[in-house]
């Protein structure tokens, strides 16, 4: 089973909005599209659907952007996946209307796949959007950062300004390393 790109991008938008909750200026479609390398026009369509589901509010104009309508700890992955996936029919026999399988009623595949999908959704129903934002980084390079949100966090970090070259004391200025002289060979 594979989630559609639509669901993947929907999850990214919702996670991004949750990660930016409380920020002075809410994230925009352009910001999210740039952070994830996604087409702006495609993401706009997804945002419209997420808004129609009642998960986000969109505000146009200066100071506008996207905000979660529900707290991140109340929105489950199961709810999101059920609404954004268009076809959860794993095999033909799941669709009573169009089922032509001659083994239907005689094989146990349908039951096994049904139980597997139920287990899949049981897990997703127990995971909230807020759970996805818990820090998991173990790398020293990204300690304290959320790996999937590093572009968001790095973009919001303020880097210290470098001092102009003329104000750097001569003693601390970088000098090129001295050229090494080849060692003299010892006479044997």
DSSP-assigned states of every residue in 89-154: --SGGG-TTT---TTTTT-SHHHHHHHHHHHHHHHHHT-BTGGGGS-----GGGTTS-GGGHHHHH
DSSP 59: E
How many Å is the maximal CA-CA distance in the chain? 95
Domain ranges of the chain: 5-85+128-137+144-151
Q: What is the CATH number of domain 5-85+128-137+144-151?
A: 1.10.10.10
The Cα–Cα gap between 48 and 71 comes to 19
Per-position pLDDT tens, the chain of length 188: 788 999 999 999 999 999 988 888 899 999 999 999 999 999 999 999 999 999 999 988 887 899 999 999 999 999 999 999 888 777 666 777 877 777 777 778 878 888 988 999 999 999 999 998 876 555 555 555 554 554 555 444 444 444 444 444 444 444 444 444 445 555 54
Q: Tell if the pTM clears 0.75, that is, is over it.
A: no
Residue with tokens 């997703």: 124
């Amino acid at each position: 089973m594979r989630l559609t790109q639509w669901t993947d991008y929907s999850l990214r938008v919702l996670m991004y909005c949750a990660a930016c909750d409380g920020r002075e200026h809410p994230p925009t479609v352009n910001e999210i599209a740039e952070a994830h390398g996604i087409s702006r026009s495609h993401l706009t369509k997804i945002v419209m659907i997420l808004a129609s589901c009642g998960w986000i509010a969109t505000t146009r104009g200066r100071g506008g952007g996207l905000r979660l309508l529900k707290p991140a700890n109340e929105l489950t992955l199961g709810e999101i996946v059920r609404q954004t996936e268009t076809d959860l029919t794993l095999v033909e026999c799941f669709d009573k209307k169009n089922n032509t399988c001659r083994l239907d009623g005689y094989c146990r595949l349908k039951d096994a796949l049904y139980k597997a999908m139920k287990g899949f959704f049981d897990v997703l129903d127990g995971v909230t959007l807020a759970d996805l934002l818990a820090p998991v980084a173990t790398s020293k390079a990204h300690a304290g950062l959320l790996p999937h949100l590093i572009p968001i966090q790095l973009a919001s970090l303020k880097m210290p300004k470098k001092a102009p070259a003329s104000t750097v004391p001569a003693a601390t200025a970088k000098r090129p390393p001295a050229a090494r002289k080849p060692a003299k060979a010892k006479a044997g």
